[in-house]
Structure 1
Amino acid sequence: MKCTGCKVGALAPSFIDGLFRAHTCTHCGGNWILIEDYVSWKENNPEYVFSDDIACEAVDTETALLCPQSGKIMRKFRITSDTTHRLDYSAAVGGVWLDKGEWELMKKDGLAGSLNAVLTAQWQKNIRMNNAKDNFAELYKEKFGQESYNKVREVREWLNAQPNKADLRAYLLAEDPYSAER
């Protein structure tokens, strides 16, 4: 198979960290992994703990990649909301392309044991929700200022912990809470 990443090297049979089967590019060092090989290994080694004490440099391919087996365009999946790195997944054959350094990045982030989970709709939904929360937080910080934002978050957390929070909100929002008039 020809490398889907660099399009120069060949994908040679190998093992990721000597653990499960893969195909590694002879030129760029990227890895083609069939999820069934990864899951099979994982099921047979449930107690295996990946080391996260790793230094790594990973370069993500920005363009769409073609599956080295089917030739179809692969879909990009975010790893976490904290990184821009994306894994390329071929639903046609159930394979994942890891650019050089992305496996080490997964280990560093404590996600090497969750490679198959990263490819699920729920995982990706959680990343989108986290990104939306971060975006709203930034908007509020800009709108209120950092000090006011911190204070209002503190008040909000306190308020939500109170058993009579509806009455407290009504009191806070009333123009004159001591008046019988609206």
Structure 2
Amino acid sequence: MYQCPKEGNVPLQDSELAPGLLAKACSSCGGSWIPPESYEEWQKPQIDPDAPTQVAVLPLSLDVPFQPAGLDNRAALCPDCRSYLVRGRVSLKHTSFYVERCPNCKGIWCDAGEWDILQKLSLDTHIGYLFSAEWQSQVREQENIAREQQAIVDKLGSDIAERIFDLAKLLEDHPNGDFGVAYLMRRFDQ
């Protein structure tokens, strides 16, 4: 019998996390354990193995009222093989959370509400991607961009900052946008 990796002595009950995806749920914390064989069976018909993994929505732009589970930061053991679960961070606009996976058997633990967010990001079929160096690099890059943009808002106010972000997007998308950037740089060098 599987025990909740976060609550310890609470037995996990059979459940269905998504149509055809069998899981084990904790009645106490609301988390779900997805056995690796169940995930692989559910995942196969839904993905093209030759297509690159694409994040449908940039996580930092996803503005959803989500509060990570109180036990999200708690270290946990795999309910199957008892290895420590490793964590993959997902950063949203106002918060971040961790999805856990067993490095040994590849089972997945989602705290309450995390599966819904993974579905909104179209990452539910590519959970392994959260644990890749590429994903973690993207998370750090997006967080740096968000901090830089917040600093611009703090220094210049939201009205001017929005205009700057819009102008940056226009110049970025224009084939001769570099001329506009050069003009602005010359204006401020004088």
TM score, norm. by length of structure 2: 0.68
User: Is the contact made by 2:88 and 2:99 (CA closer than 8 Å) also made in structure 1?
Assistant: yes
Counterparts of 1:56 and 1:147, CA distance in 2: 27
Find out whether 1:76 has 2:68 as its counterpart: no
> Alignment partner for residue 168 of structure 1, among 145, 161, 183?
183
1:5 deviates by 1.5
Find out whether 1:145 has 2:157 as its counterpart: yes
Counterparts of 2:83 and 2:110, CA distance in 1: 17
Counterparts of 1:29 and 1:13, CA distance in 2: 13
1:56 deviates by 8.4
CA deviation map 1:16-55 (0-9, x unaligned): 33412322235434211134431332213459xxxxxxx9
Q: How many residues align?
A: 168
1:94 deviates by 0.8
1:64 deviates by 1.5
Q: Give the CA RMSD over aligned residues.
A: 3.3
Which residue type is aligned with residue 59 of structure 1?
Answer: A
Residue number in structure 1 paired with 2:21: 20
SS class of match (1:2)? coil
Residue number in structure 1 paired with 2:12: 11
What are the equivalent positions in structure 2 for 1:89-128 lying under 5 Å apart? 89-128=101-140
- The unaligned stretches of length 5 or more in structure 1 are 48-54, 176-182
Counterparts of 1:44 and 1:128, CA distance in 2: 31
CA deviation map 1:105-163 (0-9, x unaligned): 33345443333333333223222211110001111222233334334445545555336
Rg larger for: 1
SS class of match (2:96)? coil
Which residue type is aligned with residue 72 of structure 1?
Answer: S
CA deviation map 1:82-102 (0-9, x unaligned): 342221122122111112332
Does the C-alpha gap of structure 1 residues 42 and 170 become closer, same or farther in structure 2, counting only changes over 3 Å? closer
Which residue type is aligned with residue 149 of structure 2?
Answer: A
Of 103-112 and 117-126, deviating more is 103-112
Find out whether 1:59 has 2:74 as its counterpart: no
Percent identity of equivalent pairs? 20
Residue number in structure 1 paired with 2:147: 135
Which residue type is aligned with residue 130 of structure 2?
Answer: V
Counterparts of 1:109 and 1:163, CA distance in 2: 31
Does the C-alpha gap of structure 1 residues 96 and 60 become closer, same or farther in structure 2, counting only changes over 3 Å? farther
User: Is the contact made by 1:74 and 1:90 (CA closer than 8 Å) also made in structure 2?
Assistant: yes
TM score, norm. by length of structure 1: 0.70
Residue number in structure 1 paired with 2:40: 39
SS class of match (1:137)? helix
